[in-house]
Amino acid sequence: MIKDKRMAKTVLLAALAALTLIPALGLSGCAKKQDDSQAGSKLVVWSFTDEIGKMTDAYYKPRHPEMTVEYSLTPTEQFPNKLDPVLQSGQGAPDVFGMEDAFVRKYVESGMLLDITDVYEQVKDKMVRYPVDVGSYKGKVYAMAWQATPGAMFYRRSLAKQYFGTDDPAEVQKHFTNIDAFLAAADELKAKSGGKCVVVGAIQDLMQPFKGARKTPWVVDGKFVIDDAMLRFMDVGKTLHEKGEEGRIAQWSEGWNAGMNGTLKDEKGQPIEVFSVFLPTWGLHYVLKNNAPNTAGDWAMIPGPLPYRWGGTWIGAWKNTKNPAGAKEFIRLLTTDDEVIEQLVKDTGDFVGNMNVVNKIKDTFTEPFLGGQNHYAIFAELAPNIDGTKTQGTDQAIEAIFIETFTSYVNGEKTKDKAIEAFKEQVSAQLGIQ
């Protein structure tokens, strides 16, 4: 799962995701044999997140005491540089490794992962589909996730009461049923607050929802495509900026955090009220609770104008592992097993992709930080509607370029046409995609 401290490194991960592995791994068919010590009763597991290590200790080892697990944790920004050379050479490669959303597709598309379609076929009727789509390529499954990470719109209850007359999620959602309604609500917030209340602190909050609305991926048959949803995002961002209906702060900045905890001020030192923030499942626990503990109970959650996903962790195996059966069992257990996944939810509160577990426990949740709301049940409704088929290995690099050109347009540094032209030119120059 992506955590807030790692998101600041998105651009670095983007470059790694697009440029470091795909050319080298796509032609490898001569990987050297793994050391015999990794066969049979041993698994070498690498990850960028301690979650997999904790799950290994808590759930896998007690169920497989006959197995020796050699676990290695490497910081996210260093992980691809450590993993890529050993996969390419076959020397010292792990049996199993974790993959973050920023770079999972480059490995899935690389030809270097073990085919685990048979694992998925055993459990497909109970799993949310989109994480499997992200982990699949050319009809085969190469990575699976224990999580699903649908996104939502989190809003301040006190501001909703003040400006909409209610903080009830069902009623507030009526103001944000689609993008047109969202823009109208932004106008209403500005008018009723005398310009003090903005609908979001950072325009980039809307990036993931608009990505989720795309009908086509960035690259179609080798050609670069800009979906109409992303062009609409440019227009919406420009509108909010020019009307003063967004906080004019950067996502993941101190100002973004201040908007959540109610301390954001404008350049004149006047307070700015931030009505909402767009975050996925993990955003509640690792962003809102961490950045705004003083606002506990004053938040609620709604689906918002567009369905979307954001983040996640996948597990896959090296195609030349000498213990494919052990690798598959490791992946099956930690991503799909009913008993393990239910215990994981109880231990961490994580939202998971096993719908047997979700449906069993979804009605038992209340979240004090959200004023007692059952957020889990809402995520259960959102998860099956997420589309994972448009995720590609070059996404993060392309989107890093897009944000730069989008910002230049919003800030008036370029016209829309010039920004789009610059976007296309940079994608061509950096990635060779026309």
How far is CA 52 from its chain centroid? 17
pLDDT tens per residue across span 382-426: 999 999 999 999 999 999 999 999 999 999 999 999 999 999 999
Assess contact for 70 and 42: CB atoms under 8 A: yes
Same domain? For 106 and 160 the reply is no
Residue 283 lies in a domain: yes
Same domain? For 26 and 65 the reply is yes
Residue 373 lies in a domain: no
Same domain? For 332 and 413 the reply is no
Which segment of 21-35, 85-99, 197-211, 218-232 scores lowest on mean pLDDT? 21-35
H or E segment to which residue 43 belongs:
strand 42-47
Residue 128, pLDDT score: 97
Does 5 have pLDDT greater than 70?
Answer: no
Residue 385 lies in a domain: no
Bridge partners of 309, per DSSP, are 150
Band (pLDDT 50/70/90 cuts) for residue 38 is very low
91 CB-near residues (< 8 Å, 6+ apart): 32
3-state class (DSSP) for residue 110: coil
Question: Residues 400-421, buried b or exposed e (16+ Cβ, 10 A)?
Answer: bbbbebbbbbbeeebeeeebbe
Residue 2, pLDDT score: 42
Same domain? For 293 and 315 the reply is no
Last residue of a domain, one of 324, 348, 366: 366
Same domain? For 29 and 158 the reply is no
Same domain? For 157 and 13 the reply is no
CATH code of the domain in which 164 resides: 3.40.190.10
Does 167 have pLDDT greater than 70?
Answer: yes
Band (pLDDT 50/70/90 cuts) for residue 40 is confident
* DSSP E strands, 243-376: 273-280, 299-302, 313-317
What is the average pLDDT score of the chain? 92
Assess contact for 245 and 191: CB atoms under 8 A: no
Residue 101 lies in a domain: yes
For 276-296, what is the mean pLDDT? 96
> Nearest Cα to 130, choosing from 146, 143, 118, 148?
148
Assess contact for 292 and 79: CB atoms under 8 A: no
Residue 39, pLDDT score: 60
Alpha-carbon span 305 to 300, nearest angstrom: 15
Residue keyed to tokens 């009605």 = 363
Same domain? For 229 and 128 the reply is no
Q: How far is CA 119 from CA 80, 222, 334, in A?
A: 25, 31, 12
For 258-265, what is the mean pLDDT? 96
The tokens of 305 are what? 């104008």
Residue 375 lies in a domain: no
Alpha-carbon span 433 to 220, nearest angstrom: 10
Band (pLDDT 50/70/90 cuts) for residue 274 is very high
Same domain? For 396 and 297 the reply is yes
Same domain? For 76 and 120 the reply is yes
- Give the domain range for residue 177: 151-309+392-431
Residue 113 lies in a domain: yes
Does 343 have pLDDT greater than 50?
Answer: yes
The tokens of 45 are what? 């597991």
Does 4 have pLDDT greater than 80?
Answer: no
Does 26 have pLDDT greater than 50?
Answer: no
Same domain? For 218 and 333 the reply is no
Residue 409 lies in a domain: yes
Going by their DSSP bridges, the two strands 219-220 and 223-224 should be labelled as antiparallel
- 171 or 3, which is more confident: 171
Alpha-carbon span 204 to 121, nearest angstrom: 37
For 232-247, what is the mean pLDDT? 98
How far is CA 409 from its chain centroid? 25
Same domain? For 248 and 348 the reply is no
Residue 231, pLDDT score: 98
Q: How many domains are there within the chain? A: 2
Residue 379 lies in a domain: no
Q: How far is CA 224 from CA 11, 162, 351, 423, 428, in A?
A: 20, 45, 34, 11, 9
Does 202 have pLDDT greater than 90?
Answer: yes
For 360-370, what is the mean pLDDT? 96
Same domain? For 305 and 317 the reply is no
Last residue of a domain, one of 366, 383, 411: 366
For 197-204, what is the mean pLDDT? 97
